[in-house]
């Protein structure tokens, strides 16, 4: 059997569950999570449940670091043994140095056969685009066609998320324009989104009980009646909230595909526990 045309590579901040990565032949390069002197590979040597348990039980603020260029080079070398070309799609360059490591790793291997994409997003917004890209690659799409699928999916996908506290985003320097929400009143929950590669403020919600109804309302405002959607709902040690949000969304929308799970350790370092995120992608041609 000959080589496949395109292999899709991403990083661990896409928060794609391992069974989905395996099913669709997606290669993942993990970022690093640091608890003091301890270093873990995101979703390889530390899993979400273990991470949030550790986070809640320590005063140490974990930090994150990008993979090395050599980490990427190793995955790229292996990938080019299986495929003619690689499309490598990654976390926003404004949120992480991961893309820079990928570019350096590409130079160590074969620049002509590896395409690198700055998604300008993170977590399952990135994950939804990577999954669509991998499915196109499975059907034999060319690298150019896979790149087009990525761009198209990102253009149709939005994310809104609510954090229990802005403390983690602030201390890790990832707060972007959401800085304006700091110092807000007690029990006011910030709704955040992603824009121009950064975390941006959307609005404030008073009280946690309003979070799920308001996220559904925002989706209705943004989607209207424009056909079916795929969605991803992620949480940080808050599975009951994720399940309630999924049920509420299914009650309002024609949902074709749902990904329900935890944010990964690297993303969790910045959101903290209690985060609830809704990403949705309008489907075309229906």
**pLDDT at residue 226, rounded to an integer:** 73
pLDDT in tens, 17-31: 999 999 999 999 999
| Portions of the chain given CATH number 3.30.1180.10 | 156-282
In this prediction, residue 174 has a pLDDT band, given cuts at 50, 70 and 90, of low
pLDDT in tens, 75-97: 999 999 999 999 999 999 999 99
pLDDT in tens, 124-168: 999 999 999 999 999 999 999 999 999 999 999 999 999 988 778
Given a cut of 80, whether residue 186 has pLDDT beyond it is no
Given a cut of 90, whether residue 63 has pLDDT beyond it is yes
For 156-282, give the CATH class: alpha beta
Q: Mean pLDDT for the chain?
A: 93
| Portions of the chain given CATH number 3.40.50.10170 | 4-155
Cβ atoms of 52 and 237 within 8 Å: the answer is yes
Q: Is 224 exposed, middle or buried (0-12, 13-18, 19+ CB in 10 A)?
A: exposed
Given a cut of 70, whether residue 65 has pLDDT beyond it is yes
Alpha helices in the chain (DSSP H): 18-23, 48-56, 69-82, 98-109, 124-138, 143-156, 167-171, 211-223, 239-252, 265-271
Cβ atoms of 79 and 116 within 8 Å: the answer is no
According to CATH, what is the number of the domain 4-155? 3.40.50.10170
**pLDDT at residue 253, rounded to an integer:** 95
């Amino acid at each position: 059997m000959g080589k496949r045309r395109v292999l899709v590579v991403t990083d661990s901040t896409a928060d794609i569950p391992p069974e989905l990565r395996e099913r669709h032949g997606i290669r993942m390069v993990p970022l690093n999570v640091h608890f003091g002197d301890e270093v873990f590979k995101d979703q390889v040597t530390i899993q979400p449940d273990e991470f949030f348990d550790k986070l809640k039980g320590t005063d140490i603020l974990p930090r994150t670091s990008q993979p090395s260029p050599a980490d990427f080079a190793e995955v790229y070398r292996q990938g080019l043994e299986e495929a003619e070309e690689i499309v490598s799609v990654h976390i926003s360059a404004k949120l992480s140095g991961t893309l820079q490591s990928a570019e350096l790793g590409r130079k160590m291997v074969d620049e002509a056969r590896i395409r690198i994409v700055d998604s300008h997003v993170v977590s399952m917004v990135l994950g939804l685009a990577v999954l669509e890209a991998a499915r196109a690659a499975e059907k034999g799409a060319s690298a150019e066609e896979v790149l087009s699928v990525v761009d198209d999916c990102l253009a149709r996908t939005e994310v809104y998320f609510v954090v229990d506290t802005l403390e983690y985003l602030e201390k890790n320097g990832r707060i972007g324009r959401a800085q304006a929400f700091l110092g807000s009143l007690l029990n006011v929950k910030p709704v955040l989104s992603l824009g121009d590669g950064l975390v941006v403020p959307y609005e404030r919600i008073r009280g946690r009980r309003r979070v799920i109804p308001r996220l559904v309302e925002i989706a209705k405002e943004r989607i209207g009646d424009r056909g079916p959607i795929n969605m991803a709902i992620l949480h940080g040690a808050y599975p009951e909230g994720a399940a309630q949000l999924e049920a509420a969304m299914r009650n309002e929308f024609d949902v074709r595909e749902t990904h329900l799970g935890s944010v990964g350790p690297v993303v969790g370092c910045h959101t903290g526990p209690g985060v609830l995120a809704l990403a949705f992608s309008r489907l075309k041609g229906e």
